[in-house]
Amino acid sequence: MTFVRGIANWFGQTLRLIARNKAGFLGFIGLLFFIFLAFVMPLFVPLDKTSRVDKIYNPPSAEHILGTDFQGRDIFSLVVHGGRDVIVIAFLTGAISTFIAVVLGSISALLGGAVDSAIMAATDFWLAIPTFPLLAVLATQIKLNDVWLLSLILALLSWATLTRAIRSQVLSLRQRDYVEAARSLGMSHRHIIFKEILPNMMSYIAISLVFAMTAAVYAQGGLVFLGLLSFSDNNSWAVTIQLAWTRGAIFFKDSFLNIMAPVAAIALFQLSLVLFTRSLEEIFNPRLRVGV
Amino acid sequence: MTVNATPIIELDRVSRVFEQRRRQVKAVDAVSLAVQEGEVVCLVGESGCGKTTTGKMIAGLIHPSGGEVRYAGKNIWAMSKDEFRRYRLAVQLIHQDPYASLNPAHTVYGIMSAPLLQHGIVANHKQARERVRDLLRTVDLTPPDDFLDKYPHQLSGGQRQRVSVARALTVSPKVIVADEAVSMVDVSIRVSLLNMLSRLKRDLGVTFIFITHDLAVAKHFAWEGRIAVMYLGRMIEIGRTPQIINHPQHPYTRALLSAIPEADPRITRTKERLQLRSLDIPSLLNIPSGCSFHPRCPLFEAGLCEVSVPPLADVGDGTRVACHVVARERAKEVVA
Amino acid sequence: MSENAKTAGEPALLVEDLWVEYPARRGVVKAVRGVSFELRRGETLALIGESGSGKTTLGLALVRLLPKAARIKQGRIMYYRNGTSQDVLALNAEQLRRFRWQECAMVFQGAQNALNPVLRIEAQFLDTARAHGMTDAKAVRERAIELLKMVQLDPQRVMHSFPHELSGGMRQRVLIALGLLLQPQVIILDEPTTALDILTQRSVIEVLRRLRTQLDFSLIFISHDLSLAAELADRVATVYAGAIVEIGSVYDIFERPRHPYTLALTRSVPTVTGEMHPLASIPGSPPDLINPPLGCAFHPRCPYATDQCRSQEPRLERVGDDQFAACWHWQEVKP
Ligand SMILES: Nc1ncnc2c1ncn2[C@@H]1O[C@H](COP(=O)(O)OP(=O)(O)OP(=O)(O)O)[C@@H](O)[C@H]1O
Ligand SMILES: Nc1ncnc2c1ncn2[C@@H]1O[C@H](COP(=O)(O)OP(=O)(O)O)[C@@H](O)[C@H]1O
Ligand code: SF4
Ligand code: SF4
Ligand SMILES: [Mg+2]
Ligand SMILES: [Mg+2]
């Protein structure tokens, strides 16, 4: 019972902290909306797969609220179904690259010496080679339609910058007097990392994760657009944009929404993510959390 | 306190060099000091003279670049793992800045229970809570239950400094190195903090190494102990507190004492001031040759002072001074 | 001198019932609460108080340099010169610009680090002068050299130095010289010696003392350091929780304080010269300016407090020839 109440309390307080920042709260609402759109709506709106030659590029109507595409399919259903993979890949990519960065960055900063030099040399090397073209080449070799595999590869795009950022964070936190006090009190390395250093990096890590997500959204968009990435059943906002683009949707007035609807979805999703980082500051700031 | 007992802390020509923008900074230069158990020694000097670095070397938080730090006669950096652990807990450092020395992410209870649980000083959280309450009472944070669940940002500077002291007490240290522990708190609470530390010293028999830039505070805290004065990384005078305060020998100590503004208009406006030859403070990157005080010293003698570094010489009354001229004059007096 | 005779007895500055507030998340910070005092012509007044007691805010209000968020709730600030007066709170932007520096200059807390790092000291003097309509570079340079000499700096070296090439104490003295450039009649120094080493503090103190005898201006300095007041002040005002609780001559304040807070403060600072006497400690912690205690703000920490103190706020009243204290029981307070 008390456990349940504790959880409820935590949620209540977290919500309160999110609401402290207006922009952040807006971002939070936006994210909820997109999660609902991408994961719940598909249960009610079936994906429209039938081509209807008589309905190509129809303007919005009661039946198709966002109109139809070059094959006469319902754009609304494409937008509803095109979000899931984008969001999942963004999240996985963000999580993987942040995880790699936290582990490598902390090890590098805390162990120092040869390990540090090796990890820093690796990031230098990685930052020096042109990664996006490399990825493009890679994409032509392997069929990149597995969400996990794709996320892993996209994560490789951003791990190096993030690792360096995390390393310098750890380095500066390590200098803090309270970390020195913990050393003086004979506290274990585990305690120092997980109890003294990490809690004070949580907002930084969370914000890094969100920015890695936004980067991943653009990166998958870029790959799709270059035609290097395809999705199994062709439902991604990026695919919709790319198809609309190649089928000349921009040349017809009535097909405007075929491109604009998925573009708006991506842009608003990104905006929500960026705005939400404002609230992350508040959530992880111990000064604002009282009595938990 | 027997004079011949093994000192609990001993610095033997300890030095520390830092690398700063590719240049070597000698923050501490061949400092020797022996502290007996139960004693109180104040390290005083102006900012940047190496007090904190010395304190951190005593607490084993910084490696010396030369010389030995001994605890109960043993070189701490040649100890076995077990010995070092025991030493580490026995010597605790209180930081200067109470805003930086407590982790903002934890409550007072979290901060203080961690070492108790880690070292098996208590068996469980229930006991830990009891012990933390006791310690909070020891540092006059009463009633303790008002503080247990507070975060550092909810406490005032003075209260944080008390938590910081209480945290050091969790491991029952024998030696406390207090680095400017009262400098950053307000005047009105400084005295109660000082009184609390004095009481710990008396009741728990803790050995104190008290670092401060304020000679008046040193005088009040260590009247029964000793004062060691540092200048540009070197120890230039050490002796019993009443001697240093009332009969300072080294020209720098004298200049310092005479320059201090006093919180009493009649005293401070009639005090005799020692004039220095120069107001410039030399940089640690460019320490003057010989006696490093020579460019500013009113007693400077060319051909002597800038030539060789004066060693700490016994000048009687338990005082040792690193000054060519003072040592010579006192030697003459003894002969005469 | 004839001018002085004409305006004898007139203060340089008069502050009446000044209130300043900052809005904050938790509520309104009442940083200055009903402060009234006069600064006499040619005198040195020290405002002494602990961190957060509102000293800087008061100083900023006197030159209308408060941050945007701050609000002057009420009060009057009058400057007098040669028989004319200026209501500072009624000045427009142009008048204000002239007023700061020419009438009243303020050197900020921690300002040693506020000199423009990319300009040589000479350029900083010329810029300040130009900003106030003094375009004769030669005259400015001459005046700057004269002032630098007065603050015991070597003009040849300092004029051509960048701020980072000077020590903290030298920078502080440059700032004092800069403040004197336009011959203001009032100078406000916020924590002029804090964060400086003892020997450097000494040089700043000596410079200020010399300037007081050489030039004709009134000086307000703000400090948490009682010994600085003991060194330099003619009169001392103790500030507690945004209000002046006692004001009087430096000897009265240190030797015959009548407010329990002043008494406790002066007895809690150790001296190196003289006997070892036990130090008095002040119980409790500094007040919260968002919710200051009812009645006398010092009552939770005051050994003399009674029920009256807990409900009614005392006002400054005369407790000696030239000494005022805000305390219901000042007659019982014995040094
Ligand atoms: N810009 C601001 N916004 C909100 N509150 C402020 C601001 N500046 C100061 N305060 C608050 O006003 C009160 C008085 O501050 P002030 O800086 O005047 O104190 P002080 O006596 O000069 O302190 P110190 O000795 O530390 O310089 C404090 O509670 C402070 O937190
Ligand atoms: N980690 C460090 N790296 C480089 N220089 C340092 C470091 N710690 C201290 N110093 C330098 O050593 C000198 C002495 O510093 P410190 O021991 O902190 O003096 P104090 O405590 O007497 O003010 C200073 O010049 C300081 O800048
Ligand atoms: S050795 Fe010379 S320069 Fe150094 S303190 Fe003594 S008299 Fe002065
Ligand atoms: S008015 Fe009362 S509480 Fe306030 S200082 Fe005087 S005696 Fe103390
Ligand atoms: Mg220090
Ligand atoms: Mg201030």
Span C205-231, pLDDT tens digits: 988 898 888 888 999 999 999 999 999
In this structure, of B33-42, C3-12, C207-216, C278-287, the range with the lowest mean pLDDT score is C3-12
pLDDT band for C6, please (50, 70, 90 cuts). Answer: very low
Residue A290, pLDDT score:
54
Q: Which CATH class is domain A14-42+65-284?
A: mainly alpha
Nearest alpha carbon, ligand 4 atom 6: C327
Whether residue A49 is predicted with pLDDT greater than 80 in this model: the reply is: no
In this structure, of A111-115, B179-183, C166-170, the range with the lowest mean pLDDT score is C166-170
B182-200: average pLDDT: 87
Whether residue B252 is predicted with pLDDT greater than 90 in this model: the reply is: yes
Bridge partners of residue C105, in order along the sequence = C187
Residues of C in contact with B276 (CB under 8 A): 199
Q: How far apart are CA B239 and CA B317, in angstroms?
A: 8
Q: How many whole angstroms from C261 Cα to the centroid of ligand 1?
A: 20
pLDDT band for C111, please (50, 70, 90 cuts). Answer: low
Whether residue A16 is predicted with pLDDT greater than 90 in this model: the reply is: no
B248-267: average pLDDT: 94
Nearest alpha carbon, ligand 2 atom 2: B18
Percentage of residues in chain A having pLDDT higher than 90: 31
Nearest chain A residue to B88, by CA: A184
Whether residue C38 is predicted with pLDDT greater than 90 in this model: the reply is: yes
Residue B271, pLDDT score:
87
Residue C3, pLDDT score:
43
Q: How far apart are CA B4 and CA A282, in angstroms?
A: 59
- The ipTM assigned to this model is 0.87
Q: Is C271 in Cβ contact with B262 (below 8 Å)? A: yes
A113-135: average pLDDT: 88
> Where is pLDDT greater, at B273 or B84?
B84
Q: How far apart are CA C286 and CA C266, in angstroms?
A: 16
Residue listed under structure tokens 């995880």: A99
Select from B299, B326, B312 the least CA-distant residue to B237.
Answer: B312
**Atom nearest to C242 CA in ligand 1:** 14
Residue A233, pLDDT score:
58
Residue C166, pLDDT score:
82
Q: Which CATH class is domain B9-103+173-245?
A: alpha beta
At A137, which helix (H) or strand (E)? helix A131-141
Ligand 5 is an ion; residues with CB less than 5 A from it: B 52
pLDDT band for C132, please (50, 70, 90 cuts). Answer: confident
Chain-wide mean pLDDT for chain C?
89
Starting at the edge strand found earlier in the chain, the sheet holding C243-249 runs C104-107, C186-190, C218-223, C44-49, C235-240, C243-249, C323-325, C317-320
pLDDT band for B121, please (50, 70, 90 cuts). Answer: very high
For chain B, the domains span: 9-103+173-245, 247-336
Cβ of C302 closer than 6 Å to ligand 4, yes or no, is yes
Which of B232, B249, B301, B306 to probe ligand 3 with, by most ligand atoms within 8 A of CB? B301
Residue B328, pLDDT score:
93
Q: What is the DSSP string of B109-146?
A: HHHHHHHHHHTTSSSSHHHHHHHHHHHHHHTT--SGGG
Whether residue C129 is predicted with pLDDT greater than 90 in this model: the reply is: no
C19-46: average pLDDT: 92
Cβ of C211 closer than 6 Å to ligand 4, yes or no, is no
B213-238: average pLDDT: 95
Q: How far apart are CA C114 and CA C117, in angstroms?
A: 8
B141-164 per-position pLDDT tens digit: 988 999 999 999 888 888 999 999
Q: Is B264 in Cβ contact with C254 (below 8 Å)? A: yes
Residue listed under structure tokens 């900083």: C124
Cβ of C22 closer than 6 Å to ligand 1, yes or no, is yes
- CB-based contacts of C182, cutoff 8 Å, min separation 6: C101, C102, C105, C128, C129, C132, C134
For chain A, the domains span: 14-42+65-284
Select from C290, C265, C278 the least CA-distant residue to C46.
Answer: C265
Cβ atoms C323, C252 nearer than 8 A: yes
Whether residue A232 is predicted with pLDDT greater than 60 in this model: the reply is: no
In this structure, of A26-35, B229-238, C96-105, the range with the lowest mean pLDDT score is C96-105
Whether residue C91 is predicted with pLDDT greater than 80 in this model: the reply is: yes
User: Per this entry, what is the length of chain B?
Assistant: 336
B49-76: average pLDDT: 96
Residues of B in contact with A187 (CB under 8 A): 114-115, 118
pLDDT band for A55, please (50, 70, 90 cuts). Answer: confident
Whether residue B237 is predicted with pLDDT greater than 90 in this model: the reply is: yes
> Where is pLDDT greater, at C170 or B126?
B126
The pTM score is 0.83
A225-241: average pLDDT: 72
Which of B22, B51, B52 to probe ligand 2 with, by most ligand atoms within 8 A of CB? B52
Select from A48, A81, A84, A42 the least CA-distant residue to A63.
Answer: A48
C155-196 per-position pLDDT tens digit: 888 899 888 888 778 888 898 888 888 888 999 999 888 777
- CA-based nearest distance C93→chain B, Å: 37
A132-163 per-position pLDDT tens digit: 777 777 777 766 667 888 888 888 878 898 99
Chain-wide mean pLDDT for chain B?
92
Closest ligand to B15 CA?
A: 2
Select from C154, C230, C197, C227 the least CA-distant residue to B255.
Answer: C197
pLDDT band for A291, please (50, 70, 90 cuts). Answer: very low
> Where is pLDDT greater, at B302 or B154?
B302
Q: Where is mean pLDDT largest: A195-199, A254-258, C239-243?
A: C239-243
A216-242: average pLDDT: 76
A284 part of contact set with chain B, CB < 8 Å: no
B17-27 per-position pLDDT tens digit: 998 777 888 99
> Where is pLDDT greater, at C24 or B107?
B107
Three-class SS of residue A197?
helix
B154 part of contact set with chain A, CB < 8 Å: yes
Residue B102, pLDDT score:
95
* Neighbors of chain A by Cβ distance (3+ pairs < 8 Å): B
Residue B66, pLDDT score:
95
pLDDT band for C5, please (50, 70, 90 cuts). Answer: very low
> From start to end of A36-170, where are the E strands?
none
Nearest alpha carbon, ligand 3 atom 5: B323
Whether residue C84 is predicted with pLDDT greater than 70 in this model: the reply is: yes
Q: Residue B5 class from Cβ within 10 Å (0-12 exposed, 13-18 middle, 19+ buried)?
A: exposed
Bridge partners of residue B25, in order along the sequence = B18
Which of B22, B24, B25 to probe ligand 2 with, by most ligand atoms within 8 A of CB? B25
B67-118 per-position pLDDT tens digit: 999 999 999 999 999 999 999 999 999 998 888 999 999 999 999 999 999 9
Cβ atoms B14, B69 nearer than 8 A: yes
Cβ of B284 closer than 6 Å to ligand 2, yes or no, is yes
Q: Is B154 in Cβ contact with A178 (below 8 Å)? A: no
Whether residue A292 is predicted with pLDDT greater than 80 in this model: the reply is: no
C18-47: average pLDDT: 93
Residue A20, pLDDT score:
83
Angle formed by the axes of helices C198-214 and C137-150, nearest 10°: 120
Cβ of B323 closer than 6 Å to ligand 3, yes or no, is yes
